[in-house]
């Protein structure tokens, strides 16, 4: 598969951009004219730089306000294009993008535009060059790819083809199926961009809110299915204008783009039988059957503090690793691992982040196939030396600071707990279980600017979907929240993007030095019975304001006795047309980590977003002032 990305899509100077693009695995690059103009060397030097990186210049762009110009502007336009042809020759590229005219002096008419392109094609052909015509969604006379194709068809020149851009087609609501009627050999180039659906000026939307395929709401898959059905076998490129990307790591954004292209074309190949996609076979997106374990990195003192909290929540100290300072806590199908080793990844994570979640294990159908797909999508494999009695478990580095392991029901991986852990002999009388059954969801906190990267990571590797983003109001600012879910709810990950460190999420991220898991939610089938058992174990829940319950009763028309039961146990409540949701929170641990216990009734599949401001306010009240020791 021939892939490219426009230099405008990522941050940095031209040298940094080319290094990032090559490192990510693309075969080509679009040179955006502004990047060339800002470079302090000539076109031949740029061409050498590109080739030295093992890339080719797939496209030079854009040439603006060409077709339909009256005299004397028309003559000056052809003079300008000859200068651009000189630059292209020095760069070593043979294709230039001409976008549809937006000049107020331009004249309409398909035949007039076709005549201009026929002459332009003649000039380009004499110099061994080609032209691609693109319909801008805000073009003055041509703003639809069907009209651009008609111009190209009437120009009827071998050096002139049409360039299709998914944003310009989909943002205007044009049916991508109309692309299927265009001959593949007349499509000169394909540019891709996704975007969130926003009702705003098309030009502003395009210049500030484009993102990678799979990160937005446009049906880029349908667009590419139609393109590939034409027999097109050329370059598939990304052209992204995004304010967040302009300030982000060029290498990270370049990898995101490559990941999005591979994921998109893999999906297109599966949905459009018979098309030819030059893409290595890779396993399909992975169904996750649940979270098998969560591992904490800690020192010995904080491990005991965590253990006391686990015991109060009904977990049993169930095992000790055969060769490492690692303890297993169990309840239902929940496995919590506490690692106090003095070397290895967990110890390194502790030194940087303090006591924190450093590893998540996912239950999948085939662990090795999961690793293969992740690697094809540019995830970094993770390995460290296995100790005595320790299994080799496939793993990758996550997009935050942690590791993700994959376990399945094949071979030894199905018996990892029996193989790697030995029962502990203890004089302690374990606290009784409280009815926790499984991990309902894992909540991860990151900078808001990272959310698209995390979303793409999860949805491209795993068979998951995105829920709509919601704004969570924190007294210190907004936190953007979005969930990644499997269709059956076995995997639920909430992503919470902080915009400043005044929010609880932002403080947690600042104090733990990076993105991380901020809370774990455990499921129960009877939250009131669980609350009673927790109280018997000495568990102290987060104290919720009584004002919340007065409002709750009025808002939902609850029976006062039912409200009293919620208030007495500090349980939060939500419901929708599908069912009900109950939430109970632990106090904060450290700088803002916490546990949640939830019960879902009926078909409720949300996360109680309306309760978040009340929970956050309660958590902020319980935070100790900075500098004070732990109680």
- Residue 164 banded pLDDT, cuts 50, 70, 90: very high
Structural contact between residues 246 and 11, judged by C-beta atoms closer than 8 angstroms: yes
The tally of domains found in the chain comes to: 3
pLDDT at 628 over 50: no
Average pLDDT, the chain: 94
Rounded distance between C-alpha atoms, residue 73 and residue 85, angstroms: 18
- Whether 340 and 265 map to the same domain: the answer is no
- Position 625 scores a pLDDT of 55
- Whether 379 and 448 map to the same domain: the answer is no
pLDDT at 624 over 80: no
The DSSP element (H or E) to which 330 belongs, if any, is strand 326-331
Find the mean pLDDT for residues 595-599: 98
Q: Say if residue 441 carries a ligand binding annotation.
A: yes
Does any domain span residue 212?
yes
- Whether 401 and 454 map to the same domain: the answer is no
pLDDT at 473 over 60: yes
**Where does 237-332 have alpha helices with state H?**
243-246, 250-271, 300-312
Does any domain span residue 283?
no
Distances (CA, A) of 305 to 315, 322, 421, 584: 13, 23, 21, 20
Find the mean pLDDT for residues 576-590: 95
- Residue 427 banded pLDDT, cuts 50, 70, 90: low
Question: Is 78 in a helix, a strand, or coil?
Answer: helix
- Whether 313 and 264 map to the same domain: the answer is no
First-last CA distance in the chain: 59
Find the mean pLDDT for residues 407-436: 85
Q: Say if residue 191 carries a ligand binding annotation.
A: yes
- Whether 45 and 185 map to the same domain: the answer is yes
Rounded distance between C-alpha atoms, residue 252 and residue 515, angstroms: 15
pLDDT at 271 over 70: yes
Does any domain span residue 428?
no
Looking at the chain, the whole-number percentage of residues with pLDDT higher than 70 is 98
Structure tokens that stand for 247 in this block: 């300030």
Does any domain span residue 627?
no
pLDDT at 227 over 90: yes
Q: Say if residue 532 carries a ligand binding annotation.
A: no
Does any domain span residue 20?
yes
- Position 247 scores a pLDDT of 87
**pLDDT tens-place string over residues 341-376:** 999 999 999 999 999 999 999 999 999 999 999 999
Residue ending a domain, choose from 225, 244, 271: 271
The CATH number assigned to the domain holding 478 equals 3.10.180.10
- Whether 266 and 403 map to the same domain: the answer is no
pLDDT at 515 over 90: no
Residue ending a domain, choose from 222, 241, 271: 271
- Whether 258 and 357 map to the same domain: the answer is no
The CATH number assigned to the domain holding 150 equals 3.20.20.150
- Residue 119 banded pLDDT, cuts 50, 70, 90: very high
Does any domain span residue 427?
no
Q: Say if residue 450 carries a ligand binding annotation.
A: no
pTM of this structure: 0.93
Least confident window among 133-147, 297-311, 426-440, 522-536: 426-440
- Whether 440 and 294 map to the same domain: the answer is no
- Residue 629 banded pLDDT, cuts 50, 70, 90: very low
- Whether 493 and 384 map to the same domain: the answer is no
Q: Say if residue 321 carries a ligand binding annotation.
A: no
pLDDT at 599 over 90: yes
Identify any residues that bridge with 497 across adjacent strands, giving them in sequence order. 446, 480
Does any domain span residue 216?
yes
- Position 13 scores a pLDDT of 95
- Compute, in degrees rounded to 10, the torsion defined by CA atoms 238, 241, 246, 248: -50
- Whether 394 and 441 map to the same domain: the answer is no
3-state DSSP percent of the chain in helix, strand and coil, to 5: 40, 25, 35
Q: Give the domain range for residue 338.
A: 288-422
**pLDDT tens-place string over residues 385-398:** 888 888 999 999 99
Q: Say if residue 353 carries a ligand binding annotation.
A: no
Looking at the chain, the whole-number percentage of residues with pLDDT higher than 90 is 89
Structure tokens that stand for 621 in this block: 């009240």
- Whether 488 and 525 map to the same domain: the answer is yes
Q: Say if residue 150 carries a ligand binding annotation.
A: no
Residue pointed to by tokens 């336009």: 77
pLDDT at 564 over 60: yes
Find the mean pLDDT for residues 230-242: 97
Does any domain span residue 278?
no
Find all residues with CB under 8 Å of 611, minimum gap 6, and list them: 572, 573, 574, 583
Least confident window among 71-85, 136-150, 375-389, 563-577: 375-389
- Whether 262 and 296 map to the same domain: the answer is no
Find all residues with CB under 8 Å of 321, minimum gap 6, and list them: 327, 328, 390, 420, 421, 422
- Position 426 scores a pLDDT of 66
Question: Is 85 in a helix, a strand, or coil?
Answer: helix
Calculate ∠ Cα 298-302-307, nearest 5°.
Answer: 100
């Amino acid at each position: 598969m021939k892939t490219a990305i426009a230099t405008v899509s990522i941050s940095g100077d031209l040298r940094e951009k080319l290094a990032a693009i090559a490192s990510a695995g693309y075969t080509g690059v679009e040179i955006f004219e502004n990047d060339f103009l800002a470079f302090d060397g000539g076109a031949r030097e740029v061409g050498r730089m590109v080739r030295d990186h093992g890339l080719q210049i797939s496209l030079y762009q854009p040439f603006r306000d060409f077709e339909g110009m009256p005299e004397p502007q028309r003559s000056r336009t052809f003079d300008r294009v000859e200068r651009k042809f000189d630059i292209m020759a020095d760069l070593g590229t043979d294709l230039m993008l001409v976008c549809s005219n937006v000049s107020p002096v331009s004249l309409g008419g398909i035949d007039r535009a076709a005549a201009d392109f026929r002459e332009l094609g003649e000039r380009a052909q004499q110099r061994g060059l080609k032209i691609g015509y693109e319909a801008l969604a805000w073009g003055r006379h041509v703003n639809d790819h069907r009209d651009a194709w008609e111009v190209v068809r009437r120009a009827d020149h071998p050096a002139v083809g049409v360039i299709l851009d998914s944003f310009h087609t989909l943002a205007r609501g044009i049916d991508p199926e109309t692309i299927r009627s265009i001959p593949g050999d007349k499509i000169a180039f394909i540019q891709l961009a996704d975007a969130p659906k926003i009702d705003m000026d098309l030009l502003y939307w395009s210049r500030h809110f484009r993102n990678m395929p799979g990160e937005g709401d446009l049906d880029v898959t349908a667009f590419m299915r139609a393109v590939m059905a034409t027999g097109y076998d050329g370059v598939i490129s990304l052209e992204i204008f995004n304010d967040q990307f302009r300030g982000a790591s060029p290498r990270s954004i370049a990898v995101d783009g490559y990941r999005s292209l591979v994921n998109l074309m893999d999906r297109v190949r599966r949905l459009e039988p018979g098309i030819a996609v030059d893409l290595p076979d890779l396993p399909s997106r992975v169904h996750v059957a649940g979270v098998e374990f969560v591992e904490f990195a800690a020192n010995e003192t904080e491990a005991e503090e965590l253990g006391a909290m686990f015991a109060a929540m009904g977990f049993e100290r169930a095992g000790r690793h055969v060769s490492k300072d690692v303890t297993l806590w169990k309840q239902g199908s929940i496995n919590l691992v506490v690692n106090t080793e003095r070397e290895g990844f967990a110890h390194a994570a502790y030194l940087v982040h303090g006591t924190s979640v450093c590893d998540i294990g996912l239950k999948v159908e085939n662990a090795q196939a999961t690793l293969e797909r992740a690697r094809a999508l540019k995830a970094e494999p993770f390995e460290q030396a296995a100790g005595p009695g320790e299994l080799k478990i496939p793993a990758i580095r996550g997009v935050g600071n942690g590791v993700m392991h994959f376990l399945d029901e094949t071979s030894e991986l199905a018996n990892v707990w029996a193989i790697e852990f030995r029962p502990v002999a203890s004089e302690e009388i374990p606290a009784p279980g409280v009815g926790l059954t499984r991990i309902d969801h894992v909540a991860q906190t990151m900078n808001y600017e990272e959310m698209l990267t995390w979303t793409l990571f999860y949805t491209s590797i795993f068979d998951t979907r995105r829920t709509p983003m919601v704004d969570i109001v924190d007294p210190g600012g907004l936190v953007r929240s979005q969930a990644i879910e499997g269709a059956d709810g076995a995997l639920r990950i909430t992503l919470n993007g902080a915009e400043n460190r005044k929010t609880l999420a932002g403080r947690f991220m600042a104090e733990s030095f990076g993105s991380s898991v901020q809370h774990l939610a455990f499921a129960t089938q009877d939250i009131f019975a669980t609350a009673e058992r927790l109280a018997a174990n000495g568990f102290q829940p987060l104290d919720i304001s009584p004002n919340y319950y007065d409002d709750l009763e009025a808002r939902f028309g609850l029976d006062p006795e039912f409200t009293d039961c919620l208030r007495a146990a500090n349980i939060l409540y939500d419901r929708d047309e599908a069912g009900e949701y109950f939430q109970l929170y632990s106090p904060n641990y450290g700088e803002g980590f916490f546990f949640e216990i939830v019960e879902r009734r009926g078909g409720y599949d949300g996360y109680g977003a309306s309760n978040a401001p009340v929970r956050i306010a309660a958590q902020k009240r319980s935070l100790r002032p900075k500098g004070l020791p732990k109680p």
